[in-house]
Amino acid sequence: MSDQKKSIKNSALAESTRSPNNEEASGTQEVATNHGSATDVEGYKVESKNTPKGKNSRKKEKIRNMHLEMPTTTGTQQQGHAIPGVSTAPQYQPFSALFHQDLFIHPGIPLNANNSKYLENLAHLQLYQHSMQNNCVNLLRMNNQIGSLPNSPLTHPSSISHAWSNPGTPLCNDQITPRFLQNVMQHPLLNQMYGRQGNLQFRQDKRQVVSGKNGTIKETPTKNKNGKKKDQEDKNFEPYLNAEAVDAGLKENSLVEGVLRINPKQFQHAYVSSSDRSLQDILIDGVKNRNRSLEGDVVIVQIIHQPDESNDESKQKKGKVVYIKEKLHTRTCIGHLKLMPDKNRQKALFVPRDHRVPRLNIPFTCWPDNFYAEAKSYENTLFLAKIESWFDTRFALGKIICNIGQSGDMLSEAKAILAQTDLDVTPFGPEVRDLYPRLDYVIPVEEIKIREDCRKLCTFSIDPANCRDIDDAVSCRKLENGNYEIGVHISDVSHFLTENTILDEKVAEKATTIYLVEKAYHMLPDDLCMLCSLFPGVDKLAFSVFWEITDNAEVLSHRFSKTVIHSCCQLSYDHAQAVLDSREDAEMLFPEFYNGFEYKDVYDTIKTLGKISSIFRKSRFDNGALRIDQPKVSFHLIPSTGLPDALWVYENKQSHQLIEEFMLLANMTVAKRIYDDYPNLAFLRCHPPPSGYMLQQLAKSLKPMGIDLDVTSAGSLHKSLLQYIEPSVADRGKAMVLNMLCAKPMTRAKYFCAGGCTSDDDFQHYALNVPLYTHFTSPIRRYADIMVHRLLSASLNFRETPKWEIDKVKMVAAQCNKQKYNAKRASELSTELYTLKYIEMNSPYVTDAVVVDIREKYIDVIIVAIGLNRRIFFNNDFPGEHKCIKNDAGIKLSKMELLWKATDTLPDVKQVIEVFSIVEVELNRDEDMVKVDTKLVRPV
């Protein structure tokens, strides 16, 4: 072997076995801790720099200190200008396909792109340095491509501005790919790091690359001195079953299909619900058994531990993922980028905020400008990253997609929320502007003639005070026979949104309006929202449902109609509540009236609707409906800064219930009509039953505490729960805890196509306890309602029967389900973000909390004032002693005994904490803006 080859070989060996010093090795374990490893991030043995020097140490040190000296160009080529005869890299498409360029202006770079910072990072690779030193000039002369050298800081340090090193700048530019560097990357000694097209392929363990047949590349694990393969089995995932084996297993009931849920507070534990909801969920214990699946994925599970039902009831059924049927998780995450503990120049560590996502190794080709030298300047920068591959249980391989902004900045945090929930907020372009009327649209006389004219009815809307999208309005008039004709009028969006247009496709993809605290991102173009909203004082097109109802709330008949309405006023819930409470100042609070109606007309209508809706509500719960209220926080924002200066928990008052009852009635009435007329195409909504096992376990754990829940049905659960959560008989904290505990076993409601269901049970809505249900009342903010409007229009002969395939309806339902969940999640994250900001602005924030759960080293609480769930750990910084006293009768009966040590001014204090105990807590914002630091306050 020549001296040159020996030198290069030794260089590669030195690079692969270089170890951090003792101080850095302690940080290495932290990297691996996230996924259960005690070795360094690559699985190699950690060595100390104090190890005695070997016989080749001088040679290794010499190679390690080599520097790249590239020849300078003689031409006048400027950076970014194309050179004739030199191939260019494919243009990188930024993330604008998903997000507006104003929100995400820092795109990432592809792995095969080459620019100044790419070359800067590449130059630190010792194999590259050595090969360049020996072969660079010869390659240039032989290929006669002196002019193709890139004008980078490596070759022209004095001619290039260093503005690109700032963390706020884009991660890439539009430079070309020089053929020179493409050739260098084909060097035989570099092909273990680079693929045939220059794409980076980092090895996760030491492997040899050998040539296979037809020029293919094969990888074989290296062997140790005894000729044995290295033990990687505990770190590598098992291969998936093939589709045929999965189908056979599902038919034989040896495999189970379900949606994966990962515990956000303990990522090692995931769960999959069995098709039989009476059975306990299957535990997927450990990342390896999860087998590369992530939150929300539809997975196939093989049972690996089946407890003996006779004497092992308390033990969990366990399984492992053997196949991913649908990857519903986006494989993207928000987090921070930092150097490895050993200051690795080839890859950096990406730490996601969501602990359910694995940590990522990011190759240097994706690093932001000058990251290695200025890593500390990026400590507070948020990035969006994507998992590219995942072979090792400890970490995955990924790439940076874009720079989100600075952690803690409210705009950047909002971008991060939209990015991690995979929501498209790109505004509609000019290509759709001609597909709907202008705001000065006047309803044609011909359209009014074919509709029912309801402009003389006392019609008005009741919505939140800050509502912009008014989907619905109500009316009520007394008939000659003494009964009432009550109407629900819904905006006729489908009249303006033509099916199978570009606009319709874009709206169907968005599927729902996204409500963040500071802003709403509309499903429809803003002008179309304004055009369709049922504002007062203007003629509007509506789709209406009328019922004849007796004074004691008996529904005698119903009818549907396309109408023209004219709302007389726009009320908030507070306006309606003032009337229902018979407040003397109610009239003073009211807005202006239109269309010749006065306060007394609206007052009488609200009183009538309030009385009938109360009877409806009582009858609904008497007949088996269930309602579990989750706390919803509202904010008041400072207009000049957009920061919160007040927050409160949203109350569900009678005015809210008035509107809710008539909207529910409309949805149920429409559901029956479209299913009767179109049993295969009906677009419906169901709510599957909850986990019977979880409900039974909950009832069992609460019984010793004097709380007796009947979980046999939705109605029985509601009736047994009511005595403990009714505001008139229960304290607010206890009601919050019980509502949260009962919500955990519940499943998500979902849209579905009637033609895709085989059993009547698939149609059932558990919480409402009705056989058929749909969404009809909010077409401005939900695409599902537009689908229903189109079916109802066809049923009333206003249009032809839709020529939809069942598969198409199922796809639309799936998109609506996905987007609705993502939008709900984004709304929750936004609420949490502003809650954190409010706490930061008012730190330390001292308030009451109610205890939800007690464990060995921590307790879970709900902050009563803001409905926030938090965990309080008892660790070394607790000023006293703690002891968890477990109760064999049930976990819920466990107690936490605390002994607060005496201080200079205070004596020893004993404190006993149980479930439902009210404790005082102090809240402070975490530095990373992702959680609240919660501590117990010493009792007086």
Segment holding 738, helix H or strand E: helix 732-743
> Lowest mean pLDDT: which of 166-180, 495-509, 618-632, 898-912?
166-180
What are phi and psi for residue 545, nearest 5 degrees?
-120, 130
Distance CA 163, CA 370 (A): 10
Name the pLDDT band for 608 (thresholds 50, 70, 90). very high
DSSP 193: T
Mean pLDDT of 32-55: 40
β-strand pairing of 360-363 with 396-406 = parallel
Contact by Cβ (8 Å): 508, 812: yes
Structure tokens at 560: 């549907």
Print the SS3 string covering 654-702: HHHHHHHHHHHHHHHHHHHHHHHHCCCCCEEEEECCCCHHHHHHHHHHH
Contact by Cβ (8 Å): 513, 521: yes
What are phi and psi for residue 647, nearest 5 degrees?
-150, 155
> Lowest mean pLDDT: which of 465-474, 493-502, 663-672, 680-689?
465-474
Distance CA 868, CA 932 (A): 10
What are phi and psi for residue 885, nearest 5 degrees?
-100, 105
CA-based nearest residue to 619, from 796, 768, 400, 814: 768
Name the pLDDT band for 232 (thresholds 50, 70, 90). low
For position 309, what pLDDT does the model report? 59
- For 139-191, what is each residue's pLDDT tens digit? 444 444 333 333 333 333 333 333 333 434 334 433 434 444 443 444 444 44
> Lowest mean pLDDT: which of 111-125, 536-550, 634-648?
111-125
Distance CA 616, CA 323 (A): 47
For position 683, what pLDDT does the model report? 97
Q: What residue ranges define each of the domains in the chain, with the CATH number in brackets?
A: 243-305+315-326 (2.40.50.690), 341-407 (2.40.50.700), 430-680+768-824 (no CATH), 690-746 (no CATH), 845-936 (2.40.50.140)
β-strand pairing of 452-453 with 555-566 = parallel
Name the pLDDT band for 725 (thresholds 50, 70, 90). confident
Mean pLDDT of 388-414: 93
**With 0-12 CB in 10 A as exposed, 13-18 as middle and 19+ as buried, what is 435?**
middle
Residues near 595 by beta carbon (within 8 Å), at least 6 away in sequence: 455, 536, 537, 566, 567, 568
Hey, how many other C-beta atoms are within 10 angstroms of the C-beta on 62?
12
What are phi and psi for residue 844, nearest 5 degrees?
-75, 135
Distance CA 272, CA 261 (A): 6
Q: Is the pLDDT of residue 758 over 80?
A: no
For position 54, what pLDDT does the model report? 52
Residues near 798 by beta carbon (within 8 Å), at least 6 away in sequence: 562
CA-based nearest residue to 181, from 114, 108, 92: 114
Mean pLDDT of 918-932: 76
For position 375, what pLDDT does the model report? 92
Cα-based angle 300, 305, 307 (whole degrees, multiple of 5): 125
Distance CA 176, CA 113 (A): 8
Distance CA 578, CA 917 (A): 35
Distance CA 571, CA 603 (A): 11
Q: Decide: helix, strand or coil at residue 850.
A: strand
For position 58, what pLDDT does the model report? 58
Residues near 252 by beta carbon (within 8 Å), at least 6 away in sequence: none
Supply the pTM of this predicted model. Answer: 0.76
Structure tokens at 1: 């072997």
Q: Is the CA virtual torsion 432, 433, 438, 439 positive or negative?
A: positive
> Lowest mean pLDDT: which of 334-343, 502-511, 928-937?
928-937
For position 542, what pLDDT does the model report? 97
Q: Is the CA virtual torsion 619, 625, 626, 627 positive or negative?
A: negative
Question: Which residue shows structure tokens 């020849």?
Answer: 71
Hey, which of 210-219, 465-474, 540-549, 690-699 has the most confident mean pLDDT? 540-549
Q: What is the largest CA-CA distance in the chain?
A: 109
Residues forming beta bridges with residue 327, ordered by sequence position: none
CA-based nearest residue to 506, from 518, 520, 490, 522: 522
Segment holding 30, helix H or strand E: helix 22-33
Distance CA 657, CA 571 (A): 15
What torsion do the CA atoms of 248, 250, 251, 254 make, to the nearest 10 degrees? 90
Hey, how many other C-beta atoms are within 10 angstroms of the C-beta on 641?
9
β-strand pairing of 918-925 with 484-491 = unpaired
> Lowest mean pLDDT: which of 150-164, 191-205, 757-771?
150-164
Tally the C-alpha atoms within 13 A of residue 213's C-alpha that lie toward its C-beta.
Answer: 0
Q: Is the peptide bond before 704 cis (omega within 30 degrees of 0)?
A: no
Structure tokens at 339: 């150097």
What torsion do the CA atoms of 110, 114, 118, 122 make, to the nearest 10 degrees? 110
Q: Decide: helix, strand or coil at residue 144.
A: coil
What are phi and psi for residue 585, nearest 5 degrees?
-95, 15
User: How many angstroms from the chain centroid is the CA of residue 583?
Assistant: 43
Contact by Cβ (8 Å): 733, 862: yes
Structure tokens at 122: 């590449």
For position 172, what pLDDT does the model report? 40
CA-based nearest residue to 443, from 459, 435, 434, 455: 455
- For 838-897, what is each residue's pLDDT tens digit? 998 988 899 999 999 888 889 999 998 888 888 898 887 888 888 888 877 667 778 889
The amino acid that residue 169 corresponds to is T
- For 787-804, what is each residue's pLDDT tens digit? 999 999 999 999 999 999
For position 141, what pLDDT does the model report? 43
**With 0-12 CB in 10 A as exposed, 13-18 as middle and 19+ as buried, what is 302?**
middle
For position 849, what pLDDT does the model report? 93
Distance CA 519, CA 546 (A): 34
Percent of the chain past pLDDT 70, that is, above it, reads: 73
Query: Residue 90 to residues 109, 112, 152, 176: CA-CA distances in angstroms?
Result: 11, 9, 19, 9
**What is the C-alpha R_g of the chain?**
33
For position 869, what pLDDT does the model report? 87
Name the pLDDT band for 204 (thresholds 50, 70, 90). very low
Percent of the chain past pLDDT 90, that is, above it, reads: 57
- For 78-121, what is each residue's pLDDT tens digit? 443 333 333 333 333 333 344 444 444 444 434 344 444 445 45
For position 217, what pLDDT does the model report? 39
Q: Decide: helix, strand or coil at residue 924.
A: strand
Return the higher-pLDDT residue of 762 and 219: 762
Q: Is the pLDDT of residue 481 over 70?
A: yes
CA-based nearest residue to 461, from 537, 560, 550, 557: 537
Q: Is the pLDDT of residue 318 over 50?
A: yes
The mean pLDDT of the chain is: 79
Distance CA 895, CA 912 (A): 7
CA-based nearest residue to 813, from 850, 788, 790: 788
- For 664-700, what is each residue's pLDDT tens digit? 999 999 999 999 999 999 999 999 999 888 899 899 8
- For 109-152, what is each residue's pLDDT tens digit? 343 444 444 454 554 554 445 444 444 444 444 444 333 333 33
Question: Which residue shows structure tokens 């109407």?
Answer: 487
For position 465, what pLDDT does the model report? 87
Structure tokens at 423: 């929501």
> Would you give the end-to-end CA distance of the chain in angstroms?
80
Distance CA 727, CA 719 (A): 14
Question: Any alpha helices (H) in 629-653, and if so which ranges?
Answer: none
Distance CA 117, CA 95 (A): 20
Distance CA 594, CA 598 (A): 8
For position 317, what pLDDT does the model report? 86
For position 651, what pLDDT does the model report? 86
Structure tokens at 166: 């700032």
Residues near 829 by beta carbon (within 8 Å), at least 6 away in sequence: 417, 420, 421
Q: Is the pLDDT of residue 22 over 90?
A: no
Return the higher-pLDDT residue of 761 and 104: 761
Segment holding 566, helix H or strand E: strand 555-566
